[in-house]
Amino acid sequence: MRQWSGQLAGGLDVMGIALDAARQRRLLDYLALLLKWNRAFNLTAIRDPAGMVSRQLLDSLSILPLMRGARVLDVGTGPGLPGIPLAICLPDSHFTLLDSNGKKCRFVRQAIVELALDNAEAVQERVEGYRPARRFDTITSRAFAALPVMQRVTEHLLADGGCLLAMKGTLPLEEITQVERAGFRVEARPLRVPGCDGERHALLLTR
Instruction: Give the pLDDT confidence of 52-87 residue by residue, as tens digits.
Output: 999 999 999 999 999 999 999 999 999 999 999 999
The domain of 117 spans: 4-206
CB atoms within 10 A of CB 157: 21
Q: By the 8 A CB rule, do 85 and 30 touch?
A: yes
- How many separate domains does the chain show? 1
Instruction: Give the pLDDT confidence of 18-62 residue by residue, as tens digits.
Output: 999 999 999 999 999 998 988 877 777 676 777 899 999 999 999
CATH number, domain containing residue 51: 3.40.50.150
Mapped onto helix, strand or coil, the DSSP state of residue 162 is strand
Check the CA dihedral 10-13-17-19 and report its sign. positive
DSSP state of 157: G
